[in-house]
Structure 1
């Protein structure tokens, strides 16, 4: 099916492809399975996790998760990223990975983690079918890592990354949230680290959410200076795959690792949006910085509801905005990144 063949969004959905009114196609589902996290990152949960009054049992169960993934896979999704909070806090995490990996049409099963359990458990995750891992490491200085995350787990996380590489992961992605006063000048040390390691280091611009206006003003740093440095030093932009995320990825012949830049304040950032989000309680979010979310859980109780589930998702997609409008100072209703899986 061509990009500009004049077929309406709804009829394209009937042809098993989620697509919005701007002809953006959605191959990538970010699925949160918990909003609980055991770290206290400065830019997300500086005061730690606080329950919202519901019990953890209200998070999507394995059957509901399977029905969501089936519906997305039946409409063109090829990549599922399991997120949180910290997804490995769920005791059934490995079973969830296996269920997602067993879904017809899903080619990539990824996760985003703080990495504190990787060293001990990554072998079982790989056996279950986990194909891609993103780990958050905001500093290579153990003291700064502790200061940013609230946890003295730097060496545990680094051991987990090394273990993942040992057992056959061809590449690990490491997420670094740019914080002006913490890691704003750390590019040389990060470049040294990835020179001989197959790590895609992804610098992520700090994004303003409802609970951190002052921190954003103090710590936001654009990725443009990093991009300029890379280009000036022989780094080349890598071609994206259809189900890749929003990072601009740069490669260099002298480096085994890669550098990714995620710059949501840059003009045109949303033009290639290919991902949707489902929260741990079963709400569809069209954008990380969108509004209240669309309830899906009532349509996850029986296999026979998939047609209605798909129709509701596509109906919501027909209202998806052209942009998140972050560049205009709008932050939507997202209180913090852990609330709907980052």
Structure 2
């Protein structure tokens, strides 16, 4: 298993398929984009499937999440999903996407074996969307959500980041809209993972801010720690349930003690924490002819060195050199 020195076991693997994205969200990257990885640096489709197979067969991974960048930009995504669905034991599989290309790919992904999707949507206002993402693709995202729901990639989860002066007042409206359509909404605190390194704690909409805003329209009842398990989102029943809303408070309410995640970047580096400043190279081992057990041992060693927490509460916290788009969500 992928056990660390604090007794935590990683069973959830996040696989970044690309660092590229077709949006330019203000809290993620500059308008001009970034210096993307070249094709020789990226893991091939075969290399991704082999590493996932090792993780599932040798290391006890049961949950698989494909991320980016924007994973729908990966030409081989559907085939990667199909091949991973054939692994034994079969992992549960999901994709985190901005939803722009989901309308045209949802059915193919479902047929390949994908179980569900997480879609980023920060606003219901097309103009605010344009200001946040620097693109006019709001309608595409809404159609993508509808397509995912209609083909059964459920529960469809929506990830929302609230930003001061842009969409900070939209929480109640977003929740009402999501509940009407059967989507599961989760608010995420803005994290220090932007390429510009412009994040400040003082400029962040916190979990308390979000809950206070929602509480003015809805009655929220904590679902409880036992139901949450290792999930990053704290969840509340809305008006007595069964509908729920989640808040991922990585900054103000860290959940490191129950973390069960390991991450693989698009260029084949293992990250044992989203906020880690160190990585372990699996691509080099793959391409030098290492066997499955050797790669598994490298992965185990990488996870054993995982720190107790993210360090966000440390006054000396240093943001990772890689931004979120290059790490994978």
Comparing 159-168 with 292-301, greater Cα deviation is found at 292-301
> How big is the shift at 1:215?
4.3
- Which among 160, 165, 175 is matched to residue 181 of structure 1? 165
Contact 2:16 2:328 in 1 (8 A): yes
Whether the 8 Å CA contact 1:195–1:255 is kept in 2: the answer is: no
Aligned length: 324
| Distance in 2, Cα, partners of 1:105 & 1:245 | 22
2:198 maps to 1:214 = yes
Equivalent residue, structure 2, for 1:123: 107
- Matching of residue 160 in structure 1 with residue 144 in structure 2: yes
How far apart, CA to CA, are the structure 1 residues paired with 2:201 and 2:322? 16
2:66 corresponds to 1:82: yes
Unaligned runs of 5+ in 2: none
Which range moves more in the overlay, 137-146 or 177-186? 177-186
* 1:288 corresponds to 2:256: no
Shift of 1:170: 3.0
1:10: which partner in 2?
Answer: none
- C-alpha contact (below 8 Å) 1:38/1:48 kept by paired residues: no
Question: Which one of 1, 5, 15 corresponds to residue 31 of structure 1?
Answer: 15
Question: In angstroms, what is the RMSD of aligned CA positions?
Answer: 2.3
The offset of 1:328, in angstroms, is 2.0
Structure 2 CA distance for partners of 1:188 and 1:333, relative to 1, 3 Å: closer
Match of 1:196 among 180, 186, 200: 180
Deviations along 1:299-339, one digit per CA (max 9) or x if unpaired, are: 32489711111111111222110011112241342332101
For 1:80-127, what per-residue CA distance to the aligned partner results, in whole angstroms no more than 9, with x for missing partners?
100111111111111111112221123311111111111111110100
Distance 1:106 1:334, change over 3 A: farther
Secondary structure (helix, strand or coil) at the match of 1:300 reads helix
In the alignment, what sits opposite 1:334? 321
- Of 225, 250, 259, the residue aligned with 2:209 is 225
Q: Is the 8 A contact 2:228 2:234 kept in 1?
A: no
Partner residue in 1 for 2:310: 324
Contact map agreement 1:77 1:105 (CA 8 A) in 2: no
Normalised to the residue count of structure 1, the TM-score between the two structures is 0.87
Q: Secondary structure at the match of 2:10?
A: coil
- Tell me how far apart the structure 2 counterparts of residues 296 and 84 of structure 1 sit (CA, whole Å): 18
- 1:259 aligned residue (241, 245, 249): 245
Q: How does 1:37-186 map to 2 (within 5 A)?
A: 37-52=21-36, 54-74=37-57, 75-186=59-170
Question: Structure 1 stretches of 5 or more lacking a match?
Answer: 1-16
C-alpha change, 1:31 and 1:302, in structure 2 (3 Å) is: same
TM-score by length of 2: 0.91
Residue 216 and residue 105 in structure 1: after superposition, are their counterparts in 2 closer, same or farther (change >3 A)?
farther
**1:289 CA displacement:** 1.0
Range with greater deviation from structure 2 (330-339 or 23-32): 330-339
Check whether the contact 2:263–2:271 (CA below 8 A) recurs between aligned residues.
yes
- Give the Å deviation of 1:48: 3.7
